[in-house]
Amino acid sequence: MDTDSFSDDEIRDVLSLKKIAVVGMSQFPYKDAHIVPKYLIKNNYDVIPVNPNTDEILERKSFPKTSNVPGEIDVVDVFRPSDQVLPIVQDAIKKKPKVIWLQEGIHNVEAEELARKHGIKIVFNRCMLAEHRRLFSH
C-alpha cells in the first residue's frame, strides 16, 4: 500500500499541532485505537474521542461524530477501515481541520482527494505514535 509523500519536516509540522479528534478511538486498552491516543495524551496532545458507542474514554467526553466536537480541531486521526473513511472525511470537513490523518493500513483515494479539494492535508497509511517516536524520541 502506498503512503503519502510528506517529508519528515512536514510530518514534524503536523505533529506540532496539538488538538486531535480521534475517530474510532477505542475504550479497550489492548487496541491500537486506544494505545495510540493514550500515548498522544501522555505527550501533551489534547485528544478528543470520537466514538458513537460510548460517552467517555480515558476520562474524556466522547462525541458521536467529528462535527459534534466543540471548537476548532487541528487534526482528525482516523482509526476506521478504509471502506468507511469517506463519510468520516465528509463529516470532518465541516470542522475545517488542518490535517486528516489516516492510520497505518488505511487508504481511500476518494476521501483523500475530497480532503485535498477542501485545502486539508491528508496523511495516510502512517501511525501517529510510530511517527512521533521516530521523529521526536532521541
Backbone angles phi, psi at 122, to 5 degrees: -125, 120
DSSP letter at 75 equals: E
**pLDDT per residue as tens, the chain (138 positions):** 788 999 999 999 999 999 999 999 999 999 999 999 999 999 999 999 999 999 999 999 999 999 999 999 999 999 999 999 999 999 999 999 999 999 999 999 999 999 999 999 999 999 999 999 999 976
The secondary structure of 86-127 as a DSSP string is HHHHHHHHTT--SEEEEPTT---HHHHHHHHHTT-EEE-S--
**In this predicted structure, what is the pLDDT of residue 137?**
79
**In this predicted structure, what is the pLDDT of residue 138?**
64
Burial class (CB in 10 A: 0-12, 13-18, 19+), 76: buried
Per the DSSP assignment, residues forming a β-bridge with 78 are 23, 102
* 62 close to 37: Cβ distance less than 8 angstroms: no
**In this predicted structure, what is the pLDDT of residue 3?**
86
